[in-house]
Amino acid sequence: MAWLALAPLIMALAREPGMRSRRAFLLGLVCGAGYFGGTVYWTPAVVRTFGGLHPIVAVAVGGLLVAYLALFPALFAVILSRLVAAGGHRSVCAVPVLWAATELLRRHLLGGFPWVLLGSSQATVLPILQTASLAGVYGLSALVSMGSAAAVLLVVGRGWLRWAMPVGTAALTGILWIWGAARVADGSLVTTGDAMRVALVQGNIRQEEKWNRTSAPAILSTYLRLTQQAARDGARLVVWPESSTPFFFEYDAAGNAAIRMTVRESGIHLLFGSDQYEAGPPARYFNSAFLLRPDGTTVASYKKMHLVPFGEYVPLKRLLFFAGPLVEAVSDFSPGEDPMVMPIGTHRLSTAICYEVVYPDLIAAFTGRGSQLLTTITNDAWYGDSSAPYQHFWQAAVRAVEQGRYLVRAANTGISGIVDPYGRVVASSGIFEQVVVGGDIRFLTGTTVYGQTGDAFAYACALATVLAWFATRRRQDAAAHSR
């Protein structure tokens, strides 16, 4: 459906060349409301359950998020309507460029929220997904949006225009499909590099129990027991989820000692999430990941850079004064500043914490620093039995293809899994099950086209959009002057 999802909006804009910007904005806003109302619908339930908000206030907070995200399709609609007014139906051919540009803007504006980008819808369509290794998820989004533009031109186009883009879209998609299928079938990436057995420990700890002091011994015991099981099964790297320790790892002597002893006895590398505290002034808290050597010593710790709005901080606190209980319930974490990689033997790995994995440029920064294995740790217990854990997992899978790396993902309640450089799921868990997920990975050093060029395609689309906007403004000003 993603290939045709934008067609109604584009059709409305194309059929009314003289449409006012206000009407185009409203049409785009309606489209965005459907887009994000149907994908981040779980937000009110999260802030109500864990922020203690009244149901009406929780819905208002969720509505604000949807309204904000809908601004980007609205901006797309305004720009497209101006291009159609200046250039007629042929301006519909600019849809892929405009859509990629607005998605890039969504990534950057106010810290960014690049959740459920259009290209991520192809995460399970492996031949098409390989396009991400060339132009990233924004390139995928451009390709998918071409389907809607082509469908509209079949209806409103005249002469050569009616067939040029549909035929071109079909040809390009077919070529990419054939190339992508051949790339997956070749599979040479999974036969190179040093192999290692990894295990992902999914503790399945309910959110309301995670920081209950009386539950802490049982939670730690669960993770240590499953880690010992993973080591007996041959794992050399074991990964726990985000904030898996029910205490501050560096400040709890008993818990710290128990974890280090288990690592020494098992002879494994252990990567796990734990909150970190730095004394002030001012005192600061970080959502961090630690890597331990087989001798139990700490290799390094990574501090999460992209914090979750309404989960780890509340944006625009003064504006959202009515969400007082949420502000009080949410811890004020500080963001990290260094996209560091961690040595594991003679190799290097990186870890993205929670929704950081949806930022393609952050993962590219890890790889640029020499990461040979992508890991991500998360606690998706917040989302309950919604589609959010599935959205989160498949967006992470796109990063593996973009960078040509294995990706391992440890989640508290699911989905935990291993994804190979082609986006194939090697092993995975369900949600809400206590399990150890094991499999083999390889440390890879090659670079994809996207790994070399980054988001150059998306920035080129942004530049083209700006130039087109000013060109239409100049043309309209000239026409007004001549009248």
What confidence tens digit (pLDDT) does each residue in 19-63 have?
Answer: 999 999 999 999 999 999 999 999 998 877 766 778 888 898 899
Q: Which two tokens stand for residue 76?
A: 């797309």
Q: Across residues 236-265, what is the average pLDDT?
A: 96
Higher pLDDT, 418 or 307: 418
Both 389 and 468 in one domain: the answer is no
Question: What's residue 34's pLDDT?
Answer: 97
Q: Identify the active-site residue in 93, 210, 303, 304.
A: 304
Q: How many domains does the chain have?
A: 2
Confidence check: pLDDT of 480 > 60:
no
Confidence check: pLDDT of 325 > 90:
no
Computed over every residue of the chain, the mean pLDDT equals 92
Q: Could you tell me the pLDDT band of residue 323, with boundaries at 50, 70 and 90?
A: low
User: Helices 253-266 and 216-232 sit at what angle, rounded to 10 degrees?
Assistant: 10
Q: Could you tell me the pLDDT band of residue 404, with boundaries at 50, 70 and 90?
A: very high
Both 252 and 372 in one domain: the answer is yes
Both 157 and 235 in one domain: the answer is no
Question: 417-419 and 407-411 as β-strands: parallel, antiparallel, unpaired?
Answer: antiparallel
In a domain, 2, yes or no: no
Is residue 34 a contact partner of residue 70, using CB atoms and an 8 Å limit?
A: no
In a domain, 1, yes or no: no
Listing DSSP states for 404-455 in one string gives: T--EEEEESSS--EEE-TTS-EEEE--SS--EEEEEEEEE-----HHHHHTT
Confidence check: pLDDT of 327 > 80:
no
Question: Residue 202 maps to which CATH number?
Answer: 3.60.110.10
Intra-chain end-to-end CA distance of the chain, in Å: 45
Supply φ then ψ for residue 204, to 5 degrees: 55, 55
Could you give the CA distance from residue 431 to residue 429 in angstroms, rounded to a whole number? 7
Both 421 and 403 in one domain: the answer is yes
Both 134 and 278 in one domain: the answer is no
Both 225 and 346 in one domain: the answer is yes
Question: What's residue 309's pLDDT?
Answer: 73
| Cβ-Cβ contacts under 8 Å for 147 (sequence gap 6 or more) | 2, 3, 4, 169, 173
Q: Identify the active-site residue in 103, 242, 312, 356.
A: 242
Question: What's residue 211's pLDDT?
Answer: 74
Question: What's residue 94's pLDDT?
Answer: 97
In a domain, 245, yes or no: yes
Both 305 and 432 in one domain: the answer is yes
Beta strands in 221-321 (DSSP E): 237-239, 269-278, 284-292, 298-303
| Cβ-Cβ contacts under 8 Å for 102 (sequence gap 6 or more) | 72, 73, 75, 76
Query: Is there a catalytic annotation at residue 303?
Result: no
| Cβ-Cβ contacts under 8 Å for 127 (sequence gap 6 or more) | 176, 177, 178, 179, 180, 181, 184
Q: Which amino acid is at 247?
A: F
Both 181 and 313 in one domain: the answer is no
Question: What's residue 202's pLDDT?
Answer: 98
Both 388 and 473 in one domain: the answer is no
Could you give the CA distance from residue 29 to residue 6 in angstroms, rounded to a whole number? 12
The tens digit of pLDDT for each residue in 189-228 reads: 999 999 999 999 999 998 878 778 889 999 999 999 999 9
What is the extent of the structural domain holding 372?
Answer: 192-447
The CA distances from residue 108 to 72, 113, 287, 306, 309, in Å, are 12, 8, 21, 12, 14
DSSP state of 318: T
The CA distances from residue 327 to 51, 53, 228, 332, in Å, are 8, 10, 39, 9
Q: Could you tell me the pLDDT band of residue 326, with boundaries at 50, 70 and 90?
A: low
Confidence check: pLDDT of 321 > 60:
no
In a domain, 237, yes or no: yes
Listing DSSP states for 166-214 in one string gives: HHHHHHHHHHHHHHHHHHHHH-GGGGSSEEEEEEEEE----GGGTT-GG
The tens digit of pLDDT for each residue in 99-141 reads: 999 999 999 998 899 999 999 999 999 999 999 999 999 999 9
In a domain, 180, yes or no: yes
Both 202 and 141 in one domain: the answer is no
Query: Is there a catalytic annotation at residue 461?
Result: no
Both 376 and 465 in one domain: the answer is no
- Reduce the DSSP state of residue 199 to 3 states and report it: strand
Question: What's residue 481's pLDDT?
Answer: 59
Both 441 and 468 in one domain: the answer is no
Give the other-Cβ count within 10 Å of 343's Cβ: 13
Beta-bridge mates of residue 196: 441
Question: What's residue 253's pLDDT?
Answer: 94
Question: What's residue 9's pLDDT?
Answer: 98
Query: Is there a catalytic annotation at residue 93?
Result: no
